[in-house]
A and B are shown apart, each in its own frame.
Chain A
Amino acid sequence: MNHAQAAARFIDDRARAAWHDQVVWNVRVKRDKAAHSVPEWELLRELASQIKLHTMSRLAEYLEQFEREATRRGATVHWARHAAEHNEIVHSLLQARGVRHLVKSKSMLTEECHLNPFLERHGIEVIDTDLGERIVQLAGEPPSHIVVPAIHCKREDIAELFHKHFGTDADNCEPYYLAEAARQHLRDKFKRAEAGLTGVNFGIAQTGGLVVCTNEGNADLGVSLPKLHIASMGIEKLVPRAQDLGVFLRLLARSATGQPITTYTSHFHGPRPGGELHIVLVDNGRSDILGSDDFRRSLNCIRCGACMNTCPVYRRSGGHSYDSSVPGPIGSILAPARDAKKYYSLPSACSLCGSCTDVCPVKIDLHHQLLTWRRELAERGLVPLSKRLAMKGMSVVFRHPWLYRVAGTLARTIVPRLPRFLVYNRFNAWGRQRELPMFPRESFRDQFRRRHDDQ
């Protein structure tokens, strides 16, 4: 199913689609309020973008520095060329220590690598500890948003889910009741875990440190109880110096949820006393994107989700309609790079409104990259034949003014005379919910020429 089909299905339940649109829009409103409270907001965006682009221009050096510093502090740094290698590294670390129970905090990278099913196939229980992620994990669904993974779920859905898995009262949808049930359930998992895996929001090259931002405290709890901490990090997550974090941390939570900062912003340097820290650096196509002048800026992404919250298409189609670990505008740029054939429809799931570009804290030119992807896909022959023929037809008409005038006159003469059923039928997608424009007798150019002649 392509995006358009999945979106139409989502909108079939009109009330639910409207509810989803409003709930996600509210996060955009909170973001606006938070951004307005920072007078230097636009300057921060510009600095953040420059810091990231600078880092990309010296990425190899910074990665080597990061590895040196992290190792000096007692961490072990691993390198994975691609998703499969990342999964194997994580698995062998767990297997060597006899780990059967892993707790995991939010990491879009591990979603991208499909880590959970891989580990589960090898007999390791993986518990996603972020509440939203746990909800979708229990429901057997992928997350629909990178910051609020269960935003598509209504409280009644969650109540039913928890009733099924925890034996809670199916009729009690009160958020505090449900969250308390999840707290108790996950506490057991934290206590039983033999290892904790986190993502990385930022890696500091200068010090070899990792920064992890959460509201729930699940990442920290997950790595402060068991002895083994594994951190999965995309190579684009580096910043050069600790002071650069001042810029990013002022932008991240405000862009993501409208909070001035997440509850916990943890800086890990080496393992805790008596523990182990293993960092897995992952490429998985990022170095390819690095080489592209058109798409390099997409590596600036700090996974805040603001583009999703502002996107009028995402809000009305839901994250699942993208069928990608990261949905929305940034997802529609990253996914085709991974699999153009599967994700050809995503760059067109966009009205090119540009709101995403203006909201992006690291100034990724999102809507321009989406347009560039359309050109890329057209060059690779991945535009459907019907569209290509329509475009060729239009191009011919527009290159010949006489043909254009004739076509226009014909349309304006014939269409108003056609019976309704010939105009509005299943071949006319425009006409499903819209009237066609009124076709006037004269075109503008006819009127202008007449007026000019009269004068």
Chain B
Amino acid sequence: MTSRDEVLKSIRARRVPAMALPALQHDWVRYADAFAQFKSVVEAAGARCDRVATPRDIAPLLATFGEFQAATRTVSQVAGVAGTVALDDVDDPHDLETIDWAIMPGEFGVAENGAIWVTDERVKQRAIYFIVQHLALVLPANQIVHTMHAAYERIQPGKSSLGLFIAGPSKTADIEQLLVIGAHGPRSLTVIAVGPTV
């Protein structure tokens, strides 16, 4: 008998009372202004959140940030923002170590917790989300769902080998519970919402 057989046999030998899987239909909380809620939580998590009218306004906005101005190597997969390194040309993710900024698209945001859903679809090296010094995520301002329940109604899990919620810059509170922004992942997160909020 393999270990698999033994483990499954051990489980099946137990008498466990039946319990129905509960329905998740409920009047989950809704915010009067989903984008405003989203923005306030994003900022509370230590990220920037700006809204611009059109995609053409993204590059000028980035140009106003000191750290972006100082950046020498950047990756962009957002139309209208030019990067200095094409991610599709990078065969070894270790080479991304010197990338200062990455500007990546997000699909939608979640109002209750400021999270943004991104995937590695069309992203050759997923390490780009974690290895860069500064990350910017660009998403449509009217694509904000209220809760995680709504988020999972939108996500097609398994569609890509990696899908994740990003809800701020990397951080740690492991030293005396004092918050330090910028742990191992990006030191900062900039959220740029494009277009109208409804």
Contact = CB atoms under 8 A, between A and B. Distances in A.
Interface string B137-168: 00000000001110111010110111111111
Given A218-B184, A246-B149, A264-B166, A53 B19 contact: yes
B176 A287 contact: no
A130 B174 contact: yes
B102 interface: no
Given A265-B115, A267-B163, A225 B3 contact: no
B18 interface: yes
Contact of A269 (B13, B28, B160, B172): B160
Interface of A: 23, 26-27, 38-40, 43, 47, 50-51, 53-54, 56-57, 59-60, 63-64, 69, 73, 79-81, 85, 129-132, 135, 148-151, 153-155, 158, 175-176, 178-180, 183, 186-187, 190-191, 204, 206-209, 215-218, 220-221, 224-225, 235, 240, 242-247, 249-250, 257, 259-273, 281, 283, 287-288, 290-291, 293, 296
Given A246-B147, A260-B41, A265 B164 contact: yes
A264 B115 CA distance: 9
A186 B174 CA distance: 15
* Residue among B127, B164, B168, B171 with max Cβ neighbours from chain A (10 Å): B164
* Residue among A132, A187, A246 with max Cβ neighbours from chain B (10 Å): A246
B86 interface: no
A43 B16 contact: no
A245 B148 contact: yes
A290 B12 CA distance: 10
B67 interface: no
B93 interface: yes
Interface of B: 2-4, 6-8, 10-22, 24, 26, 28-29, 41, 45, 93-94, 97, 110, 112-115, 120, 124-127, 129-131, 147-149, 151-153, 155, 157-158, 160-178, 180, 182-186
Closest 9 A-B residue pairs measured CB to CB?
Answer: A217-B185, A291-B14, A260-B113, A216-B183, A132-B174, A224-B127, A287-B10, A79-B4, A261-B113
* Residue among A26, A190, A216 with max Cβ neighbours from chain B (10 Å): A216
B170 A215 contact: yes
Given A81-B6, A150-B174, A290-B14, A263 B167 contact: yes
A57 B7 contact: no
A57 B17 contact: yes
* Residue among B2, B11, B13, B126 with max Cβ neighbours from chain A (10 Å): B11
